[in-house]
Structure 1
Amino acid sequence: MTRRTASPLSLVLLGLGAFLLVLAPLLAWYVEPRAKRTPIDVDQITVFRGTGSYFDTEKIKTVHDQRLTITRQVRGDVADSNKKRAVWDVSTSVDPDKSLPAADPHDSLQWTLERWVTDRRTNKPVHCCGEEPYFEGEAYLKFPFDVEKRTYLWWDNTLGATVPLTYRGPKKIQGYEGYRFTGTVKATRTGTRQVPGRLVGLRQGQVLAEEWYANHGIELVADKRTGRIIYAAIGPRKTLRAPGGKKDRTVLLDSRRIGFTKKTQQEQVDLADDDSSRLKLVGTTLPLVSVLAGGALALAGGVLVARGRGAGKDGPRGGGRGPDPMGPHSDTSPSALQHSTM
């Protein structure tokens, strides 16, 4: 009996199928989690625009119904960042039309420079590398990966504390769906500033006035997979009060709503869609394709191997030769011929 072996094709199919079946969980459980890391080589500008009031230092009074623009630039510090932490330098300016374009950010109505350091996996604060300010909470500039339908603690730098943002359901921005979160900030004293007494209703020359801050409403829409903010709107109100006073005396900045421009919305949506698609490819699409293709190839290879072995066991014997025509029961066997010629 000749023993048949599996064909090379069946072994190749079986091996490739097994490889793809092993690859699927590797992509989903190992590669994708490591791909979920806050980027460090960023250089992005987002622009908010709305109308409101601000204190005009030339006119020495608050002017109303003015267009206001907030420009924020985020640059990653690649040198100070590493596998675990992301270091971002953030410049934010607030301008009325008359100070735009600002050749120097110091010419803006308000300008701040911040340095944010976060854990690249969890998005939590990392207190190192010249961080400024010291901040807490779960989110700032972005949400963590895989945004959940719950309340998040958002860091408000003007307040100097976290603000709870409540999940309000899905919302589409430029046709792209994200998760919407909202919150408000009640009037809170945030510091002091030396100003002429008349600005806070006093006859004294210079007084140490109290700075108060509130926010009419914060609305953020975040990409569900990456945590990138695809829409943001705020309603800041900054005022001055007399020392120990209960009433706002001078409005420094006030707007019911300043939000992302259409251009910024589209740019953020495009970036979120691109990043989310890559994560989906690695974490969902490729593992699913690997499972289906691997299962099909392994099944096909197994069937071919089984057929090959079956043919070797049950097929024709002796290399395909039939009964011996000279066998003992044949009419032409040697014994029969010998008997007839004796």
Structure 2
Amino acid sequence: MRVIVGRVLLGLGAFLLVAGILGVAWAPGSVKKTPVEVDQKTDLAGTALRLDTSTGETRELEVKYTSITKSDTEASDDDTVYFKQATCLVEVDGETPDCVDENDDRLISAGEATFATDRETAMAVDGSKLPDDVEPYEGLVNKWPFDAEKKDYEVYDNVIAEPVTARYETTDEIDGLEVYVYVTETVDAPIDLGSDIDGLYSDRKEYSVDPRTGAIIKQVVDQQRSLADGTQVLDLQVEYTDEEVADNVADAEDNIASLDLLTKTVPLVGFIGGALCVLGGIALILTGRRTRTAKPAHSS
């Protein structure tokens, strides 16, 4: 009986050791990837000073900014994930939807984009490797990489259509979750304000990022747009809503727990449990065999 139990323990130990090895060697590279099924809505709210072109006066508005990002699961593969993103900035006036028709006076700006990122690094994919209908971005786009570092990163700014430097600023805490804070700054960059009107663009964004998953937990935007002569067209201050931040913290904590289970708990249980089972199995097999040998032979 001891021999049988010992063999069972040896088999279980081997299984646990293999699970531990997979947890160390395979799991990190497989689970630390942007998923190919993403359907995310992000809400920001705040205020804006907006030039009323009909009167030449500037009005202060309550605004909300909505971003909807969906992955193209069929086009995505093991290395690349394709996204379609729709954004909308509108004036809040009573019951206001996330976006309005282009003829609605409440609309400030709206846009659509299609882009692709590397599932491991979160960096935009080189334009030469993309289909014609996918825009060639550069740098990070909608998240940081897993295990983000306290260093500078390049982040794509779709207003000026080029990457800007996100410098690491500090480490902070949001609702008990540790985050790294990165800041981008752009000053008086030339842009097209629409209808071929030349303008200037200044922008400061603050990203609070969960370093383990690379998820953006909170974002604060301070942006100005003006005519070439300095006349201000838009002065915008928005940030993630409290509900958005709370949801992001909860999602990050769930994802961290899953990562820890696969990359820490499974290897730990595998190696320790596997080693104990193997040692126990060997001991039972050896003692079982000695017991058999020590039994006296029956006389006829």
TM-score (norm 2): 0.88
Match of 1:214 in 2: 202
Match of 2:136 in 1: 134
Q: Secondary structure at the match of 1:258?
A: strand
Match of 1:114 in 2: 113
| 2:79 paired residue among 81, 84, 90 | 84
The answer to whether the 8 Å contact 2:43/2:65 transfers is yes
Q: Secondary structure at the match of 1:62?
A: strand
The answer to whether the 8 Å contact 1:152/1:165 transfers is yes
2:78 and 2:111 map into 1 onto residues whose CA distance is: 28
1:226 and 1:135 map into 2 onto residues whose CA distance is: 22
**For structure 1, which segment, 170-179 or 291-300, has the greater mean C-alpha deviation from structure 2 after superposition?**
170-179
The answer to whether the 8 Å contact 2:71/2:81 transfers is yes
Q: Give the drift of 1:19.
A: 1.9
| 1:53 paired residue among 49, 55, 60 | 49
**For structure 1, which segment, 170-179 or 13-22, has the greater mean C-alpha deviation from structure 2 after superposition?**
170-179
Match of 1:302 in 2: 282
Q: Give the drift of 1:58.
A: 4.7
Q: Give the drift of 1:131.
A: 5.0
Match of 1:143 in 2: 144
The answer to whether the 8 Å contact 1:93/1:105 transfers is no
Q: Secondary structure at the match of 2:84?
A: strand
| 1:90 alignment partner AA | Q
1:285 and 1:277 map into 2 onto residues whose CA distance is: 10
Any gaps of 5 or more consecutive residues in structure 1? 195-207, 243-247, 322-342
Q: Give the drift of 1:130.
A: 4.4
Match of 2:23 in 1: 27
Q: Give the drift of 1:312.
A: 4.2
The answer to whether the 8 Å contact 1:143/1:228 transfers is yes
1:20-78 Cα distance to aligned partner (Å, 9 max, x none): 112201122113311222123222111111223112345443223x2221111111222
1:156 and 1:13 map into 2 onto residues whose CA distance is: 57
Q: Give the drift of 1:212.
A: 0.7
Any gaps of 5 or more consecutive residues in structure 2? none
> Aligned runs of 1:238-277 on 2, under 5 Å?
238-242=225-229, 248-249=230-231, 251-255=232-236, 257-277=237-257
The answer to whether the 8 Å contact 1:68/1:96 transfers is yes
2:262 and 2:241 map into 1 onto residues whose CA distance is: 32
1:258-309 Cα distance to aligned partner (Å, 9 max, x none): 1100011112222222222222211111111111211111121122122223
Match of 1:163 in 2: 164
Match of 1:231 in 2: 218
2:295 and 2:73 map into 1 onto residues whose CA distance is: 72
Number of residue pairs matched by the alignment: 292
1:115-166 Cα distance to aligned partner (Å, 9 max, x none): 11112222222232345542111x1111112211211111111122211112
Q: Give the drift of 1:111.
A: 0.6
Q: CA RMSD in A?
A: 2.3
1:56 and 1:286 map into 2 onto residues whose CA distance is: 60
The answer to whether the 8 Å contact 2:124/2:141 transfers is no
| 1:25 alignment partner AA | I
2:33 and 2:73 map into 1 onto residues whose CA distance is: 14
